Structure 1
Amino acid sequence: MNVFALARKSIESTYTGHCSIVEYKEVKDPVSKITKHEEVIVLENQPCRLSYDNISTTKSTESAHEVSQTIKLFIASEVEIKAGSKLVINQNGTTKAYECSGEPAIYPTHQEINLKLFKGWA
């Protein structure tokens, strides 16, 4: 087993969540022939892990201390997540919907994607 395979196995051993990737696509009804947009699950139950980091910032406003949260997804490097996709992630008994907020950092062993809470389809 090569060093990347061992590293990947080690990283994947930390995956405690599962991700479903949902895209908003045009779907044509076979009976009525009407095309409409709807959510389509393109991948289900992909092992993953969410990581959270709270960042404190100080602004010169009335509230002197503001905290924001950075959410990062760790997932297999071969998984393709298109821009604008919704990611439904279940980890530690909690299920939430997220969207990508940046380009993935792809490594030989995994990829890392910054996320934000899903607020709706654009």
Structure 2
Amino acid sequence: MNEEQIIASTFDGVMDVYERRYKEGKLIQEEEENLLYKRFPCAVSRSRSGARYGNQPVKQGQAAALNYETKVFASPKLSIPAGCSLVVTQYGKTVRYVTCGEPVRYPTHQEILVVREDYA
């Protein structure tokens, strides 16, 4: 087993990768998502959270913003453009992320910085 295979053996989730594209409408430009990869192995690691990074307590009646950053680890063979959406399923939970810039590539894996912007 080589080093890339060893790292890939730690991937405990799968992701669908969607690229945003614009199609020309008659009067307005419409956005659509194109599926690039389906159920590709990955791993997710939260890199920042808590009040220090923008997760503030909320008052009663307000929606809690879940705004933290994570890294998604995947094979270096994938080509994931900036601005893609990743739908990751890990441990029975599915979460949608948006990529932030280009992935950092290594010979054995790539790290994709993503942001989850949902409400609790």
Q: How high is the TM-score relative to the length of structure 2?
A: 0.71
**Aligned 8 A contact 1:19 1:90 in 2:** yes
CA distance in 2 between counterparts of 1:110 and 1:75 reads 6
Q: 2:4 aligns to what SS in structure 1?
A: helix
Q: Is the alpha carbon distance of 1:69 and 1:76 closer, same or farther for their aligned partners in structure 2, counting shifts above 3 Å? A: same
Amino acid in the other structure paired with 1:10 = I
**Aligned 8 A contact 1:19 1:87 in 2:** yes
1:51 equivalent in alignment to 2:50: no
CA distance in 2 between counterparts of 1:58 and 1:24 reads 31
Which aligned pairs between 1:1-122 and structure 2 lie closer than 5 A? 6-27=2-23, 36-54=30-48, 69-118=68-117
Q: Deviations over 1:70-96 (max 9, x none)?
A: 411110001011111101000111101
Q: How many aligned residue pairs are there?
A: 103
CA distance in 2 between counterparts of 1:7 and 1:52 reads 23
| Larger CA Rg, structure 1 vs 2 | 1
Cα offset, 1:102, TM superposition: 3.5
**Aligned 8 A contact 1:86 1:118 in 2:** no
Amino acid in the other structure paired with 2:16 = S
Q: Is the alpha carbon distance of 1:36 and 1:8 closer, same or farther for their aligned partners in structure 2, counting shifts above 3 Å? A: same
Q: 1:109 aligns to what SS in structure 2?
A: coil
Q: Is the alpha carbon distance of 1:90 and 1:56 closer, same or farther for their aligned partners in structure 2, counting shifts above 3 Å? A: closer
CA distance in 1 between counterparts of 2:32 and 2:48 reads 34
**Aligned 8 A contact 2:99 2:113 in 1:** yes
Q: Deviations over 1:15-70 (max 9, x none)?
A: 01001111222458xxxxxx8432221110110000123456769xxx9xxxx844
- Percent identity, aligned pairs only, is 30
Instruction: In structure 2, list runs of 5 or more residues that go unmatched.
Output: 58-66
Q: How high is the TM-score relative to the length of structure 1?
A: 0.70
Runs of 4+ in structure 1 off by over 3 angstroms are 53-59
Q: Is the alpha carbon distance of 1:25 and 1:57 closer, same or farther for their aligned partners in structure 2, counting shifts above 3 Å? A: closer
